[in-house]
Copies of this chain bind each other. A is one copy, B any other.
């Protein structure tokens, strides 16, 4: 092996929030791979526009399925597993002759798709460069700290059942909810049932040109899947 499969966390969206190491790894890549929905440019690829070195090969890894099959359907895993198998093998073969960089929005090990390649690769062939998680970009965009003192922070996927969302929202100081999209109405009911709807913020496209920051109670209509809902902690503050 002369190279590695290097997954670089790109941060929340603004290309200036890449780390120095992520940029350095990207600029010495021979191959740059990234996930995307078929036929779309891909958010990760957009974030590094102008930063990929001349001469590097680009390998878009197009999901065979995104929302067409429900996650709980066995067909979902049966479709994605061979896709991840294929790309893990291909990236592993390619790193025999130099570094292969995989792009990942946010932080690769926090709900990132790269982990499905990572689990199929030998540990010694992989390097992961952490990134600023999307949620950190979003709470910074609200202009308010997320946790103070002894606050408990809970990170929830909005895909959870409504009673579980309600219970957990009622039992935390600070809250981050990911994967909003079609789960917004359910999440709104859960926040209201927990008595916390009035304090909730919605951040769409955090740190990106289309960024929108507002109180969730003021939002009508659909929101993007990659929106984040936040409750700020109110802990100790001398």
Q: Interface of A with B (CB < 8 Å)?
A: 9, 11-12, 14-21, 23-24, 71, 76-77, 80-81, 84, 107-112, 115-116, 118-119, 123, 128-133, 136-137, 139-140, 143-157, 159-160, 168, 172, 207, 236-238
Are the C-beta atoms of A148 and B84 separated by less than 8 Å? no
- Could you say which residues of chain B place their CB within 8 Å of the CB of A160? 150, 152
Known pairs A109-B146, A154-B172 / 17 extra A-B pairs, C-beta < 8 Å: A11-B130, A14-B21, A15-B20, A17-B20, A76-B238, A81-B238, A107-B136, A109-B140, A109-B147, A110-B146, A111-B147, A111-B148, A112-B145, A116-B238, A119-B237, A130-B207, A131-B132
- Report the bound CA distance from A40 to B16 in whole Å: 32
Copies in the complex: 2
Given contacts A23-B20, A150-B160, A238-B77, contact A136 B144 (CB under 8 A): no
Q: A19 is contacted by which of B16, B128, B154, B238 (Cβ under 8 Å)?
A: B16
